[in-house]
């Protein structure tokens, strides 16, 4: 065993085979093009390894605190990888569009759209088939090899980070505490915030009457959405319309954890939610960065996979979000200084005593 054999360098370093060389019309930048794609795929593989381990940890009925620490650490790792790989487009952009055109015709219909690891990654995170942007009126798996298409299809109905997280949040024991009446206090504080927002709009002399009515309508809509957050039937109706995705119990847990994140028992769950938010942001940044690069390389040309190119990619940045609910909840946050005090008994329970039952 040595460095070369341990890392299988022979296989790794002979996998870059520029078609332009084989076709006797060498295009120097094709080396870079292949290297950058390979490094992405290797990082996607690492992300999938981390995700699988996270899903396995979250699959048990009762996840130990120690295990949650590992889950958060691995999510952090995934985020660091995403952060670094988004920067790799900088390297690819040292290739000019004309240098790309030197070999683009040789790639023919090969496209990142057929990256099965990227599809697995999206599915394991929780991107649902019905939420996908319809592309070329074909299933997103249609250009994969039958074996890879089966693997990707199977991942649609397998465990996802979203579902595991939802189940874990919904199981949090503090939701059952009878001191939960403190939500009523919180509702009053939020109502004050909405009244303040409405007054701010009505007193704004730079807005026309129509603009004021429209903006006040938006505030009223948000107020109703907040009220419905505490009415299971109304919430489930909103959920059925696609306005929320988290289950009724999970959304309350996510809310409480973020509001009272200073409570010792919420420290780890708060970090978990933060990492999940980061994950959605990183993926969106990756998508947007890729779309910008594609615009630079192709202008208005079609993609080699047959899409409308940059426009399709830009739209996925917005549409293919997974953990949007955690962002939406922010609408109902209030300044920390106005947070209602937790009832003493409840606060005592949250002070790491919950588990031991002290
Ligand atoms: C010159 C460089 C690149 C160009 C011009 C380009 C172009 C495109 C285009 C136009 C699409 C849309 C599908 C299609 O019609 O083909 C696409 C999708 C995709 N590309 Fe790239 N790409 C480039 C580099 C990369 C790199 C380095 C990666 C890294 C793995 C990548 C990964 C992907 C993925 C995963 C998709 C599917 C995105 C989705 O459906 O949401 N691309 N690319």
CATH number at residue 219: 1.20.58.480
Q: What is the CA(114)–ligand 1 centre distance, in A?
A: 9
First to last CA, the chain: 55
Q: What is the mean pLDDT of residues 314-318?
A: 92
pLDDT in tens, 58-87: 988 777 777 899 999 999 999 999 999 999
Instruction: Pick from 175-179, 260-264, 320-324, 353-357 the range whose average pLDDT is largest.
Output: 320-324
Q: Is residue 209 part of a domain?
A: yes
Q: What is the CA(141)–ligand 1 centre distance, in A?
A: 15
Q: Is residue 21 part of a domain?
A: no
Q: What angle do CA 260, 266, 270 make, to 5 degrees?
A: 90
Average pLDDT, the chain: 90
Q: What is the CA(111)–ligand 1 centre distance, in A?
A: 6
Q: Is the pLDDT of residue 358 over 60?
A: no
Closest ligand 1 atom to 118 CA? 35
What is the CB-side half-sphere exposure of residue 235 using CA atoms within 13 A? Answer: 17
Rounded distance between C-alpha atoms, residue 183 and residue 327, angstroms: 20
Q: Is the CB of 272 under 6 A from ligand 1?
A: no
Q: Is residue 334 part of a domain?
A: yes
Q: Report which protein residue has its CA nearest ligand 1's atom 4.
A: 294
- Top pLDDT among 302 and 87 is at 87
Spatial neighbors of 297 by CB under 8 A, at least 6 apart, are 95, 97, 100
pTM (two decimals): 0.91
- Top pLDDT among 106 and 185 is at 106
Q: Domain count of the chain? A: 1
Closest ligand 1 atom to 122 CA? 41
Q: What is the CA(148)–ligand 1 centre distance, in A?
A: 18
Closest ligand 1 atom to 95 CA? 1
Q: What is the CA(351)–ligand 1 centre distance, in A?
A: 48
Q: Is the CB of 121 under 6 A from ligand 1?
A: no
Rounded distance between C-alpha atoms, residue 43 and residue 50, angstroms: 11
In the prediction, which pLDDT does 214 show? Answer: 95
Q: Is residue 296 part of a domain?
A: yes
Q: Is the CB of 107 under 6 A from ligand 1?
A: no
Q: Is the pLDDT of residue 357 over 60?
A: no
Q: Is residue 3 part of a domain?
A: no
Q: Is residue 306 part of a domain?
A: yes
Q: Report which protein residue has its CA nearest ligand 1's atom 34.
A: 112
Q: Is residue 13 part of a domain?
A: no
| Range of the structural domain that residue 33 is part of | 27-353
In the prediction, which pLDDT does 356 show? Answer: 45
Rounded distance between C-alpha atoms, residue 250 and residue 165, angstroms: 8
- Residue 161, both tokens: 């980070």
Q: What angle do CA 319, 323, 325 make, to 5 degrees?
A: 100
In the prediction, which pLDDT does 178 show? Answer: 60
Please report, rounded to a whole number, the percentage of residues in the chain having pLDDT higher than 90. 69
Q: Are 54 and 44 in contact (CB under 8 A)?
A: no
C-alpha of 42 from chain center: 20
pLDDT in tens, 190-248: 898 899 999 999 999 999 999 999 999 999 999 998 889 889 999 999 999 999 999 99
- Residue 254, both tokens: 């996510």
Q: Is residue 18 part of a domain?
A: no
């Amino acid at each position: 065993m040595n460095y070369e054999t341990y890392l299988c360098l022979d296989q790794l370093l002979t996998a870059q085979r520029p078609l332009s060389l084989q076709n006797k019309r060498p295009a120097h930048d094709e080396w870079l093009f292949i290297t950058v794609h390979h490094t992405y795929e290797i990082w996607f593989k690492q992300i999938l390894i981390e995700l699988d381990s996270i899903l396995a940890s979250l699959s048990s009925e009762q996840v130990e605190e120690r295990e949650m620490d590992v889950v958060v650490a691995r999510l952090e790792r995934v985020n660091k990888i995403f952060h670094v790989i988004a920067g790799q487009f900088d390297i690819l952009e040292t290739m000019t569009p004309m240098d790309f055109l030197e070999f683009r015709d040789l790639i023919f219909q090969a496209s990142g759209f057929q990256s099965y690891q990227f599809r697995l990654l999206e599915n394991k995170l929780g991107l649902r088939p019905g939420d996908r942007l319809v592309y070329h009126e074909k299933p997103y798996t249609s250009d994969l090899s039958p074996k890879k298409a089966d693997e990707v299809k199977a991942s649609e109905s397998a465990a996802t980070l979203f579902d595991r997280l939802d189940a874990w949040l919904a199981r949090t024991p503090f939701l059952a505490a009878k001191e939960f009446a403190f939500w009523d206090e919180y509702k009053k504080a939020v109502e004050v915030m909405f009244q303040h927002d409405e007054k701010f709009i009505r007193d704004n002399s730079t807005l026309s009457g129509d603009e004021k009515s429209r903006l006040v309508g938006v505030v009223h809509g948000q107020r109703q959405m907040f009220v419905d957050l505490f009415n299971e039937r109304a919430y489930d109706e909103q959920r059925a319309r696609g306005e929320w995705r988290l289950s009724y119990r999970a959304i309350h847990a996510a809310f409480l954890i973020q509001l009272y994140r200073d409570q010792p028992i919420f420290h780890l769950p708060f970090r978990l939610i933060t990492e999940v938010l980061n994950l959605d942001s990183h993926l969106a940044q990756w998508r947007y960065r890729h779309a910008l690069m594609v615009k630079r390389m192709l202008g208005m040309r079609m993609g080699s996979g047959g899409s409308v190119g940059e426009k399709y990619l830009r739209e996925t940045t917005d549409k293919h979000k997974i953990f949007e609910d955690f962002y939406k909840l922010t609408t109902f946050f209030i300044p920390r200084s106005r947070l209602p005090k937790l009832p003493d008994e409840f606060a005592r329970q949250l002070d790491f005593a919950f588990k031991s039952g002290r």
